[in-house]
Amino acid sequence: MILIDGKKEAANLREELRKEVSSLKTKYNKVPGLTVILIGDLTPSQIYVRNKEKSAKEVGLKSEVIKYPDSVEEITILKKIYELNKDDTVSGILVQLPLPKHINKKKVIEAIIPEKDVDGFHPMNVGNLSSGYKSSVPCTPLGCYLLIKKVEPNLSGKKAVVIGRSNLNGKPMTQLLLKENCTVTITHSKTKDLKGECLKGDIVVAAVGIPELVRGDWIKKDSIVIDVGINKTEKGIVGDVAFDEVSKIAKAITPVPGGVGPMTIACLLKNTIECFKRLQS
């Protein structure tokens, strides 16, 4: 069994990115900049944002976090985004989700110019990804994709099962796997015989937010299992996959924590650098 070490892969990717930032600095006499907008005081969001900032600095990016209280008005956020859109020192803008209820997520996402949309959430980037054109790709599925490719470089013809249909994970994951010529089945919490569907997968990506949903007898031998879940339970943080059971069957599996999570942040840095390069050309 291969335990896919997301921490190690993310460290390798960060090292590559650090070198790239250094050569971009020589070439353009400036470095890519990432600006994160954080609204409210949700603890998980604060932890994510702190990790993003730390990693960005580590690879040599210019990094800035702008914080607002929960009560901030939508127009204040939109005006800040318009300002950042025009700021030449900012290559990537990320508004940390979830947002307070009184702020319209769609409006906020669409306010960021697609060229600086490091999350790949803007409809222009979503459309470009689904049409197979160049686009920003959401960080979590991009991280999953890179981990899968490490284990199995040739995915052509493989059967992939994606559990979860969110805009953040399931849908973009599907597009990335399709681009690799996988036969992709998108499943979700309402799918009938989810176990039967999973059993067909050479690759199973679980991104549904149900603790330890995927059991040992849901997975066929030699499959690659990617666990996107981060669920708080009485026994601590667990994924969407019952790790102890599935790791006895699968060819390769990501742990939680230490699997997809570290790659997500490394991919955000990668996307920021990609945005910078596209903005220069």
CB closer to ligand GUN, 158 vs 270: 270
- Residue from the set 31, 95, 177, 228 that interacts with ligand GUN by CB under 6 A: 95
Write the single-letter amino acid at 156.
S
Q: Identify residue 60 by its one-letter amino acid code.
A: G
Q: Is 139 in the site for ligand GUN (CB under 6 A)?
A: yes
**Distance, CA of 66 to CA of 36 (rounded, Å):** 6
Q: Does 96 bind ligand GUN (CB under 6 A)?
A: yes
Active-site annotation holder among 80, 96, 171, 175 = 96
Task: Specify whether 96 is catalytic.
Answer: yes
Taking CA atoms, 129 is separated from 94, 121, 126, 132, 172, in Å, by 18, 10, 5, 5, 8
**Smallest gap from residue 2 Cβ to ligand GUN (A):** 26
Could you tell me the maximum CA-CA distance found in the chain, to the nearest angstrom?
56
**Contact indicator for 195, 223 with CB cutoff of 8 Å:** no
Nearest-approach distance from CB 27 to ligand GUN, in angstroms = 29
Angle separating helix axes 6-28 and 43-58, nearest 10 degrees: 50
Span near ligand GUN by CB under 6 A; candidates 66-74, 93-101, 124-132, 178-186:
93-101
Looking only at the bridges linking them, the beta strands covering 231-233 and 236-238 are antiparallel
Among 65, 78, 97, 151, binds ligand GUN (CB under 6 A): 97
Binding mask 143-172 for ligand GUN (x = CB under 6 A): -------------------------x----
Q: Is 140 in the site for ligand GUN (CB under 6 A)?
A: yes
Q: Supply the minimum distance, in Å, between the C-beta of residue 189 and ligand GUN.
A: 19
77 counts as binding ligand GUN under rule CB under 6 A: no
Please say whether the beta carbons of 243 and 250 come within 8 A: no
Q: Which of residues 168-227 bind ligand GUN (CB under 6 A)?
A: 168
Q: Point out which residues pair with 214 in neighbouring strands.
A: 241
Tokens of 170: 């399931």
46 in active site: no
- Residue 274 in contact with ligand GUN, rule: CB under 6 A: no
> Residue 38: enclosing H or E segment and its boundaries?
strand 33-39
Residue in 117, 119, 202, 227 annotated catalytic: 119
Residue 86 vs residues 83, 90, 110, 236: alpha-carbon distances, Å = 5, 8, 15, 43
The count of residues interacting with ligand GUN (CB under 6 A) is 8
Distances from the Cα of 213 to the Cαs of 15, 180, 218, 219, in angstroms? 35, 27, 9, 12
Q: Least distance to ligand GUN from the beta carbon of 181, Å?
A: 26
Which residue from 20, 119, 197, 202 is in contact with ligand GUN, where contact means CB under 6 A? 119
CB of residue 36 vs ligand GUN: minimum separation in angstroms?
Answer: 8
User: Is the separation of the CB atoms in 147 and 263 below 8 Å?
Assistant: yes
Alpha helices in 29-86, H assignment, sequence order: 43-58, 74-86
Q: Please indicate whether residue 202 is annotated as part of the active site.
A: no
Q: How far is the CB of 144 from ligand GUN (least distance, A)?
A: 12
Q: Near ligand GUN by CB under 6 A, which window of 2-10, 89-97, 184-192, 208-216?
A: 89-97
Separation between Cα atoms, residue 117 and residue 109, nearest integer Å? 8
Footprint of ligand GUN on this chain (CB under 6 A)? 94-97, 119, 139-140, 168
Question: Which residues participate in catalysis according to the annotation?
Answer: 52, 96, 119
